[in-house]
Structure 1
């Protein structure tokens, strides 16, 4: 048998020498694609950050206000303190809402909503007064939870005045003035709408002695603030049944009474 040629022996020697093989074209292509993909992700991330924080496009250009009744939109905008030109993404909506409630006590709640690409919306819910308390010739508005939130020169139309005539021993005891105010507010909140329009005064002598003074010399003994819905329903029916009566008692809603025709 003829021996191998000099060229064949040289090729086997080269293959057996342990030198690295050249990379395969497919593997090299995958490596390049991976590098390109990583670069694209980095560039996209940097672009997004710039778009949100550095670009002139996604910035506050308007602040809209809705839901106000007594407050003006200008008052709400000023209290919100949102600067035009601020990147939308950087605004702390919870902080804006807290700032509004702190500066404007008339606000009960507020939703702060980003309106992409250029707006902020402030959806305000104002407190509704159910009572007013006289103070130094003016009146303090009180909502249905007993929160005193605003001082006005004249009581709002249809809102009764609180008359608190509590003995000193009661005011200093377990049912103090603040708690009695909350009870009176809850009573005022539960008065049926047809009666509320005619209610001029809510009188409180103790926690279970709340009465209403109506137009035409009529009165209602309400009792405590408990079972307010039942008392409201009972009073509506009682006033229809005894339309000429002047005094109504719903302190025990299951046993109402009327008198003085």
Structure 2
């Protein structure tokens, strides 16, 4: 039996594939089905995130605190418990915490699905304390950035006191050129450069001017540091000088290439 002719095969393919109009209708139907599916999935996701009770904020956890308490941080954060977790403004919480609790240096606010908010706190660490003579003899803590962040009734152990000793006829001129905040930052920089062994014995960091900073150590010893420049070189020189002259009472590293020690 002879097979179908070429014309018959073409006719059969047209019948199987349908007319161009039918193909357009099929594509339109598939597009409508796809759009409906997307809308339904989006609506379900929005309901799950905002409307359901499954992804609500139920707890706030705090980590990283040393001086602050968990409750202080939670109260300052003021997280809207019961709200959809997705709607919590983490940037606003961070800003609120830094504003209300200056002791906080940084905080990472994270969503802990499905029900939690985590507050990962980093507190400021005092490197110097400043006597607050106008507040009942309390102390102001100063961190490594020169930020005065907290007032405490007792000086923390192991933290040197900052003494601003600018005086005399040149006081006004010094403070015009180097305001108090600048002098505090210089003192902080020096405190950070002091060798660890010396830092533990440092009682006072005294600032007379920008380039006249000294250290008062335990046992009546002292160090003339000079300015905050070349801090690492001065630290190395001071360490070597103290080893070479262990009985000395006064050390001068203001010019680290020409150090001196005296007294016994």
For normalisation by structure 2, the TM-score amounts to 0.85
Residue number among 238, 243, 248 corresponding to 1:245 in the alignment: 248
Q: Do the aligned residues in 2 keep the contact of 1:170 with 1:176 (CA within 8 Å)?
A: no
Aligned to 2:113: 116
How far apart, in 2, do the equivalents of 1:171 and 1:73 lie? 44
How far apart, in 2, do the equivalents of 1:161 and 1:101 lie? 25
How far apart, in 2, do the equivalents of 1:137 and 1:253 lie? 37
Secondary structure, counterpart of 2:162 in structure 1: strand
How far apart, in 1, do the equivalents of 2:249 and 2:160 lie? 19
Instruction: Using the TM superposition, give the Cα deviation of residue 237 of structure 1 relative to its aligned residue in structure 2, in angstroms.
Output: 2.3
Residue number among 207, 221, 224 corresponding to 1:221 in the alignment: 224
Unaligned runs of 5+ in 1: 1-20
Q: Which has the larger radius of gyration?
A: 1
How far apart, in 1, do the equivalents of 2:31 and 2:25 lie? 10
Aligned to 1:76: 73
Q: Do the aligned residues in 1 keep the contact of 2:80 with 2:88 (CA within 8 Å)?
A: no
How far apart, in 1, do the equivalents of 2:172 and 2:115 lie? 59
How far apart, in 2, do the equivalents of 1:179 and 1:200 lie? 21
Residue number among 116, 123, 128 corresponding to 1:126 in the alignment: 123
Instruction: Using the TM superposition, give the Cα deviation of residue 22 of structure 1 relative to its aligned residue in structure 2, in angstroms.
Output: 8.4
Tell which deviates more after alignment, 189-198 or 26-35: 26-35
How far apart, in 1, do the equivalents of 2:188 and 2:19 lie? 88
RMSD: 1.9
Secondary structure, counterpart of 1:252 in structure 2: coil
For normalisation by structure 1, the TM-score amounts to 0.86
Q: State the aligned residue count.
A: 241
Secondary structure, counterpart of 1:173 in structure 2: helix
Q: Do the aligned residues in 1 keep the contact of 2:161 with 2:203 (CA within 8 Å)?
A: yes
Aligned to 1:205: 208
Residue number among 30, 34, 37 corresponding to 1:37 in the alignment: 34
How far apart, in 1, do the equivalents of 2:261 and 2:221 lie? 11
Aligned to 1:154: 154
How far apart, in 1, do the equivalents of 2:149 and 2:100 lie? 11
Q: Do the aligned residues in 1 keep the contact of 2:238 with 2:253 (CA within 8 Å)?
A: yes
Unaligned runs of 5+ in 2: 1-17
Instruction: Using the TM superposition, give the Cα deviation of residue 23 of structure 1 relative to its aligned residue in structure 2, in angstroms.
Output: 8.2
Q: Do the aligned residues in 2 keep the contact of 1:170 with 1:206 (CA within 8 Å)?
A: no
Secondary structure, counterpart of 1:37 in structure 2: helix
What whole-Å deviation, never above 9, does each CA across 1:8-29 have from its counterpart, x for those lacking one? xxxxxxxxxxxxx988765544
Q: How does 1:1-261 map to 2 (within 5 A)?
A: 27-135=24-132, 136-167=136-167, 168-261=171-264
